[in-house]
Amino acid sequence: MNHFPEAWGRPRNDVYGAYDASHLQSSMPNQHTQSPIVTGTSVVALKFNGGVVIAADNLASYGSLARFTDIERLKQVGTHTVVGAGGDISDMQYLHEKLLDPLIIKEEYQNDGHHLRASHIYRYLSRVLYQRRCKFNPLWNTLLVAGWDEGKSFLASADLLGTTFAAPALATGFGAHLAVPLLRRVCPDEAAVENITREQAIAAVEECMKVLFYRDARSLNKYSLAIITGEGVESVGEGAAKEKVTIEWKKDVELQNQSWKFAEGIRGYGAQVV
């Protein structure tokens, strides 16, 4: 009996000559990611007094082709956190399914009332992204991590290079150019956060999604929005701190009150005569 499974079912060498095994291994070297394939565009997020609001549209593009129009790019991770992803969709799915989901399940094994909070998830993701860039095999994403942590709202960004930063108003991709200036008008700095209501924050983010749809050719008029709100830190003895965190979802939201009036003024394209 031959104990090498790869030899089973093949012509006998002594009868047919040596087996040509060249097709068994690829002639190409191992390849690492050099560019994203199916991509999502901006993620937009803003802090307000008592929480954070985060939004991302439902489009996944294949180059300039609007390939999938029902992709969810915001995902709840654990009890305190929502992660929004721009960039490569398969890398995003890898992050969630292969890394974050098992991470959360393992955290719950302990059953000790401790849960991974937004800062923990953020730190974990940042290190994964940085380690992958150091291996020259990046996960091609820009992530926003929004949540509630130790009595405060949490919002921070991490990208495929491992670059990390935090601010009260953040947006990735095209939104970094178009949405951030709009959001900073509402919220110039951390001190301004306490004067922003939940409704104002939602309105500001919805306005950003609209402007992005007008000007970002890789965006969609259908998006998801998550509102993370927290209620302080209530002490429950034994040194454990318990926070009441609520995550409200608005999925498949259609853009409202669009105005394409400006389009009438555009000259120089199409069939119109001056």
Partner 1 sequence: MPSSTSIGTGYDLSNSVFSPDGRNFQVEYATKAVENGGTAIGIRCKDGVVLAVEKLIGSKLLVPGSNKRIASVDNHIGIACSGLVPDARHFTSRARSEASNWRKLYRSPIPISSMADAMGGYAQAYTLYSSVRPFGVTAIIGGMDEAGGPGLWMVEPSGVGWGYFGAATGRGRQAAKAELEKLPLPNITVEEAVKQAARIIYFAHDDNSKDKDFELEMTWVRLEKGSAEELEEGGATKGWGKHEEVPKELVAEAERLAKESMEGGGDEEMEE
Partner 2 sequence: MSLPSMQPLGYDQSYSFHTPTSKASGEYTQHRFNPYTDNGGTIIGITGEDFVVLAGDTRHTSGYNINSRTEKKVYRLGEDNSLVLATVGFGADSKDVAETMMRAVNDFKFNHNLKNMTVSAAAQYLSTVLYGNRFFPKYANCILAGLDKDGKARLYSYDSVGSYSKEGESRASAGSASSLIVPFLDNQVEFKNQFVPSSKGQEERPVVPLDPVTVVKLVKDAFTSATERHIEVGDGLQIITVTKDGVSEEIIDLKKD
> Could you count the other beta carbons within 10 Å of the beta carbon of residue 138?
23
C-alpha–C-alpha distance, residues 7 and 4, integer Å: 6
Q: Residue 47: in which H helix or E strand, if any?
A: strand 43-48
Residue 185, token pair as written in the block:
């008008």
**39 has catalytic annotation:** no
* Three-class secondary structure of residue 189 per DSSP: coil
Cβ closer to partner 1: 124 or 213? 124
When CB distances are held under 5 to 8 angstroms depending on the partner's kind, the choice from partner 2, partner 1, none that residue 190 binds is partner 2
> Any contact of residue 111 with partner 1 (CB under 8 A)?
yes
C-alpha–C-alpha distance, residues 161 and 153, integer Å: 25
Residue of 84, 83, 82, 77 whose CA lies nearest to 108? 77
Minimum Å distance from CB 109 to partner 1? 5
| Count of positions on this chain that bind partner 2 (CB under 8 A) | 22
C-alpha–C-alpha distance, residues 169 and 176, integer Å: 10
Minimum Å distance from CB 196 to partner 2? 17
> Any contact of residue 229 with partner 2 (CB under 8 A)?
no
Output DSSP code: residue 42.
-
Cβ closer to partner 2: 68 or 94? 94
Residue 111, token pair as written in the block:
């059953």
Whether the Cβ atoms of residue 143 and residue 153 lie closer than 8 Å to each other: no
Cβ closer to partner 1: 101 or 189? 101
> Any contact of residue 239 with partner 1 (CB under 8 A)?
no
Q: Residues 6, 70, 101, 190: which binds partner 1 (CB under 8 A)?
A: 101
Minimum Å distance from CB 99 to partner 1? 12
Q: Residues 48, 124, 130, 174: which binds partner 2 (CB under 8 A)?
A: 130
Catalytic residue among 33, 41, 79, 164: 33
Region 138-157 residues binding partner 2, contact defined as CB under 8 A: 138, 157
* Three-class secondary structure of residue 76 per DSSP: strand
- Residues at the contact surface with partner 2, assessed by CB under 8 A: 32-35, 130, 133-134, 136, 138, 157, 161-167, 176-177, 180, 189-190
Which residues are known catalytic residues? 33
